[in-house]
Every structure is written in C-alpha cells, then in structure tokens.
Structure 1
Amino acid sequence: MATISAALAVSRLRIPFSYPLPFKREARVAFKCRAGPSPEVESGATERSSLLGISTSYLSAGLASLGFFETTYLTYLKLTNSEAFCPVGGGSCGDVLNSDYSSVFGIPLPLPGMVAYGLVALLALQQSGKSLLPGLDKTDVRLTLLATTTSMATASAYFVYLLSTEFAGTSCSYCLLSAFLSFSLFFLTVKDFGLEEIRKVVGLQLAVAGIIIIALTNSYTTAAPQSSGLSDITLEPYEAEITKESSPFAISLAKHLQSIGAKMYGAFWCSHCNEQKEMFGGEAAKILNYVECFPNGAGKGRTMALECAIAKLEGFPTWVINDKVLSGEQELSALAEASGFVPESSQPS
C-alpha cells in the first residue's frame, strides 16, 4: 500500500520547464523531419544524369563544342578552297575531304554538321539549366536533342560505310573524329532517356534515321557525274596550248565580256572548252573571266570547285552573261549579241 502511494505521489510531481532533461536533444534528432526525397532517391537521380562523376549535359555540350570547332574549320577550308592539314592519313585525307561525297545537294557537308553540333551544344546547356533557347520546355529540349543526335549518328554511320567501301585503304582523321563525337552524343542522349522512355519514342528515331538515309542516298545517286570515263581514273590538271592568233574583234569582245562580269565555266579536260578558247586566240583567251571547275584534277577522289557546284552546271563550257546561261561552245557573234557588244567599227562617228 505504501508503495502504491509513493508511485502516485511521484506521478503528481511537477517538473520545472527549465529542468535539463538528458534525453531532450536526442528526442529532437529522432523525430526531425526531412522535406524532399530520401538520400537513396537523390543518389539514384545523380547516377542517371551523370557519367564518371560528370553531368551528361555538360559532357554532351563539351563534345558538341569540339565537333562545332572541327566542322567550322572544315567549312572554312571548303569555302576558301584550301587544303586541310591532315596529321594522319596524308594525301588520302585530302582526297576524302575533296571527293564527290564531301557535298550534299551542292552544300559543303561540314556546313550542316557545324549547325547540328552547335544546336546540340545549345540544347545540352539548356538541359543543364541555362536559359539559352527561350520558348522550349524540358520535353521539347529532350525530344529535339534525341532527334538531332539520332540524325547525326545515322549520317556518321552512312559515311563510315562509304569510307570503308569507296575509299578502302585511305584514312581520314577528321571523318573518324566526327563519327566518334556523333556516336558519343547519341549514346549520352539515350542514356538520359533510359530504356523505358526510349521504347516510347523509338518510332521517332526510326523515322529520323530513314529520312537521313533516303536524303543522302538521293543526293549522291542524282548528282551528275564529272565526265564519262573519269570515274575510275585520275587526271592531273594541265593547260592546253592555244595556237591561234587573236583578231582585233576577238580582243575587243573579250575585254567587253570581262568588263561586264561575264564568266566562262570550263574544265581542263573538256575539248569543247579548249576549242572555245581557240576561237578567241591566245591573247584574247587570257582576258576572259575563265573559271576552272577542276583546279585540283579530275577523277576518283577529286571534286568540282565550290563555285561551279553552286552554279549547278549541266555541261562544259557554260557561259553566264548578264544572268543569261549559254551552254556549250558558242560562236563569237552569239557571245557578242548576248552581251550587247557593239564593235567600234559599227559605232557611229
């Protein structure tokens, strides 16, 4: 009975609020709430968006920037008709970069590559939190990035196939670097999506890949050949000798054509081009604005000059006079009429 009374008395004791409780701090720690996912969830998210401790977005932006600089350099070489520095592969590297396959629908191949790499770099930075492309939400950025890298990987696979078949035994360090970058960007993008999400958009990837293959194949199959009989041989450039002496009329006409910006497009191996020059004679022919469309030679591994490719010539020689296009060898009188040339002897005194 005494024990029960003592217990009741203890239970009625009032402990002051300031009394130090030995379990007070531990209780706060034990019942502390955390807002947000658990540490396990956070670490899992980090693993999905990083590779070797580096954010996949920043890694993609870095690789795309490297590809952008490479294709910018190659675009500059194409537009200036300069030779590329080939640390590996030597002359064979230049043969690949200057071949018929270095342009698509008349556009230098490095140019669309430069645009694609630049777009991927911007999209990757946008995905990392940078606001570089306003108006695009997260879903738009991811789908655009997937479509772009899929097209780049498909094109690279196509060109690697051409390199191994059409240029067997040659080496092109720029081509292989671009292929490595394209494939790497594609796999990084697929990794960010994950297997489950990729299954939902595989139709988009197949459609993009199909369009790229059809476009490239159509571009190369519809491209006009340089000349019959030159597909399997190589001709080095040479200058045909002009033996005819120029008449005063031919010299005056050549000066007139030169003054109005008329151009004659030709090829060193074209007999009709040489006959056209022979009509003018040696002195007058040197005055003409003549554009050699194969300054580096003709045949396998050689390509048409960019200016001629843009002009979309159908044969040689081709005259462009005051926005008029005259195909084939022309009489001097026809050139005079087309250019509005009036001989001095015909002019009123």
Structure 2
Amino acid sequence: MAATAFSITPPSSSSSLFSNRTPFLCPTSFPATSLPQFKRRVPVLGHVLVQVNCVSERSKQAAESEPETAPSPSSDSASSSSSSSSVAAADGDDADVSAYKWIAALGGIGLLETAYLTYLKLTNSDAFCPTGGGSCTTILTSDYSSVFGVPLPLFGMLAYGLVANLGLQLGREKRKFDTGKSNDETVLVGITTSMAVASAYFLYILSTEFAGESCLYCLASATLSFSLFFITIKRFGLQELQKLLGVQLSVASLVVIALTASYNTAQPGSSSMLETEIPYFETEITKESSPFAIALAKHLHSIGAKLYGAFWCSHCLDQKEFFGREAAKMLDYVECFPDGVNKGTKMAQACVDAKLEGFPTWIIDGQVLSGEKQLSELATISGFGLEDKAETK
C-alpha cells in the first residue's frame, strides 16, 4: 500500500492534540489486527509528517504464504512425468489383457474344431465339407491324419486347450499385478511355435500330396495357429525374442523330425507292414444291394472307374458294404495284395503305378479319391445323371 501522510500538532500548542489534524487519506479506523508501521518523521512547518504503510495482518499472511504455495517448475515436471508413466503403464496392462483375451478366444475356437475332427476320426464318420465333394474326407482319412497311430486332431485339441487355458490364466494375472514375462508366457511361446511349424508342414503336404484338393478344416486350423503365434511373440521385445530363439528352434526341429519319422513309417507297403505275415482271405458281403447301388455300379464299370484296396483293410470292406453283395461284384476292384502279406511281399504293380496313399482309393476319370465314399458322392463325381437314377426306380 502507498505511504500516507498525516499531521500532528506539536505538544507545545495550546490546542487539543487532534483538534486541527489533517484528515487521513486512508481509512481512519484500522482493523483490530492491523497496526500502522512508522518508518520516518519529517518536521514540516510545525507539523510532523509521518510516513505510514497500511498493512493488514491478512495481507502479511498471504505474502508470507505465497512463496510456500507457489508451484515449483521442477515439481510440476516430475508430477507430469509420473502421470505420463502411470498412463503408459495402464495402457500397457490394457494391451496385455486384450492380447490374452484374443489368445483365449482363438484357442477356444481351435479346441472346438479339433474336438469335432477327433470325433469324426474316432467314429470313422464323414466330415461335413462346405465346398462339397469329398476332399475334406479324403484328406482327413488319409495316412497323414495320424501321428504314430494317434489321430492328429487329438494332438490339436490338447494344444488348443492348453493355449486357451494359459490365455485365461495370464489375463487374470495381469489384471491383478504386472508379473513381467512369466514362465507361463515362455510355455505359451513354445506351444504356439510348435503349432505354427506343424501347420506349415501340413500345408506343404497339402500342396504336394493333395494337389487340386482343399480342406477348409486344415486351412482354418493353420490360420488359427499362425495367428496365435504372432499374437504371442508380439508381446516380447527383440532382446527377449533373441533369448528364446534357441528354444523356438529346438521345438521346431523336434516337430519336423517327429512328423517326418511318423509319416515315413505309415506309407502303404512299408517295411513294418511287410514284416507281418497275413495269408490272403476273402470276406463275404452280406448286405443286399439296392436298385440304385446296382445301377451306380454298372455306371462306374462303364466309365472305367477303379477301386483299389487290400483284403485286410476294414475300410475297404465297409466301402463294398455300401454297394451290397450284388453291386460289389460289378465294381472294377483291384486287390493290392492278392497273395497275402509276407516278408518281402510287394504291392501289385497296378497299385504301385497308381501311387496310392492309402486304402481304399478310387480313381474316376483320372481323379484320385482316398477314403470311403458314400454312394451319392460317387454318383455326383462320376456324373451319374438324373435320368439314370429315374431308371432305377
């Protein structure tokens, strides 16, 4: 507040002390907590000029507290940095939880698919093929559908189930606290790596051994496996991935070696099969043929369709049962082991030339079809027309 001057009559004057005083230029009454501060006295023409600063106690307290409450630039910067770090950490946790949700969801889808395929494999049922034809059944019933005698979809069901469980478990852990890269995540990397390598191996077989045929179940499983693999490794930094590279290479090598060893011993006429001695025998067909089955058998014979099989093959017997006793005799059936199976026995040359992948196998108009086929499917593939069906009624 600016200095204020007021006059006081000297004591020697006969007048009263405040009778001729000059009025105050600031309020005449001070608050009970305010006291004027006298700084200097200057005598001027019989009056004493006193410079007074009117300072209230409340103003003094505000002035004293102002340095204490003034924000520090360094503290603001530290607070902002801490806030940014908290937001980044929260965003990172949300991203982790979202990734694990995707892993759990994709693993669950894969579990359902492979459970369905396992059921088909164990019950010898035909798969529903959305694209039509018998490609799905042909591939799913081939020798490549088992590994060391165990149905391949069963391995897939176990792998997808474990991945889904780990995704759910890791998602719950990340909600509670940040555990870093845990052992469960390392296990998840190993499983998804093995699944991706196996899928790549099967896609190679699909393109080389089943050229021209498609299997939507196989492609869907491969897509799920690759997606799980990339979502999992995306969570790891470059340095962490370099540490896990040795583990991934070891897992990939073991998968390739196991699949190759299994398929090398599962081909028709393999050494393990030829070491078993089985004399040739015939199994009688007991089912009576329908008019439609007889007409279809005649049609297949007329176009040169051939059925390749082995006397010990239960699926070959089932295929003949579909036609029945009379119609089965009309088929052009080729027995690949007419002399039985003994040490050193080879398949019939006609079967070797056909490059069979399993039994039974149909060759219709140059098209190779592996596995059992329903009569309606054979009719469609062979071009058995509506007029032919009408004649059978």
TM-score category of the 2 structures, normalised to the smaller one: 0.5 to 0.7
When normalised by structure 1's length, the TM-score is: 0.58
What amino acid sits opposite 1:79 in the alignment?
L
- Among 128, 135, 148, the residue aligned to 1:92: 135
The Cα offsets for residues 47-85 of structure 1, whole Å up to 9 and x where unpaired, read as: 58639xx81100111011000000000001111111110
Quote the offset at 1:199 in angstroms: 1.3
Between the aligned partners of 1:204 and 1:74, the Cα distance in structure 2 is 30
- Among 312, 318, 323, the residue aligned to 1:266: 312
RMSD: 4.4
When normalised by structure 2's length, the TM-score is: 0.52
Q: Which residue of 2 aligns with 1:46?
A: 91
Contact kept, 8 Å, 2:137 with 2:371, in 1: the verdict is no
Looking at CA atoms only, which structure, 1 or 2, has the larger radius of gyration?
Answer: 2
Between the aligned partners of 1:226 and 1:15, the Cα distance in structure 2 is 106
Q: Which residue of 2 aligns with 1:287?
A: none
Greater relative contact order: 1 or 2 (C-alpha under 8 angstroms, separation 6 or more)?
1
Q: Which residue of 1 aligns with 2:191?
A: 148
Quote the offset at 1:296 in angstroms: 7.2
SS at match of 1:112: helix
Between the aligned partners of 1:217 and 1:190, the Cα distance in structure 2 is 26
Quote the offset at 1:165 in angstroms: 0.6
- Residue ranges of structure 1 left out of the alignment (5+ in a row): 229-238, 243-264, 274-294, 305-349
Between the aligned partners of 1:146 and 1:85, the Cα distance in structure 2 is 32
Q: Which residue of 2 aligns with 1:116?
A: 159
What amino acid sits opposite 1:128 in the alignment?
G
Q: Which residue of 1 aligns with 2:114?
A: 71
Between the aligned partners of 2:109 and 2:226, the Cα distance in structure 1 is 14
Between the aligned partners of 1:190 and 1:160, the Cα distance in structure 2 is 22
What amino acid sits opposite 2:217 in the alignment?
Y
What amino acid sits opposite 2:360 in the alignment?
G
Quote the offset at 1:193 in angstroms: 1.0
Contact kept, 8 Å, 1:61 with 1:124, in 2: the verdict is yes
Q: Which residue of 2 aligns with 1:211?
A: 254
Using a 3 Å threshold, how does the CA distance of structure 1 residues 66 and 16 change in structure 2: closer, same or farther?
A: same
Do structure 1's residue 80 and structure 2's residue 143 form an aligned pair?
no
Contact kept, 8 Å, 2:135 with 2:215, in 1: the verdict is yes
The Cα offsets for residues 235-261 of structure 1, whole Å up to 9 and x where unpaired, read as: xxxx7669xxxxxxxxxxxxxxxxxxx
Between the aligned partners of 1:43 and 1:213, the Cα distance in structure 2 is 41
How high is the sequence identity, in percent, across the aligned residues?
Answer: 47
Between the aligned partners of 1:98 and 1:11, the Cα distance in structure 2 is 103
Number of equivalenced pairs: 243
Quote the offset at 1:139 in angstroms: 1.5
Q: Which residue of 1 aligns with 2:170?
A: 127
The Cα offsets for residues 159-178 of structure 1, whole Å up to 9 and x where unpaired, read as: 00100111011110000000
The Cα offsets for residues 318-344 of structure 1, whole Å up to 9 and x where unpaired, read as: xxxxxxxxxxxxxxxxxxxxxxxxxxx
Contact kept, 8 Å, 2:233 with 2:241, in 1: the verdict is yes
Between the aligned partners of 2:52 and 2:162, the Cα distance in structure 1 is 80
Quote the offset at 1:38 in angstroms: 2.9
The Cα offsets for residues 269-308 of structure 1, whole Å up to 9 and x where unpaired, read as: 45467xxxxxxxxxxxxxxxxxxxxx9724776469xxxx
Using a 3 Å threshold, how does the CA distance of structure 1 residues 180 and 28 change in structure 2: closer, same or farther?
A: same
What amino acid sits opposite 1:207 in the alignment?
S
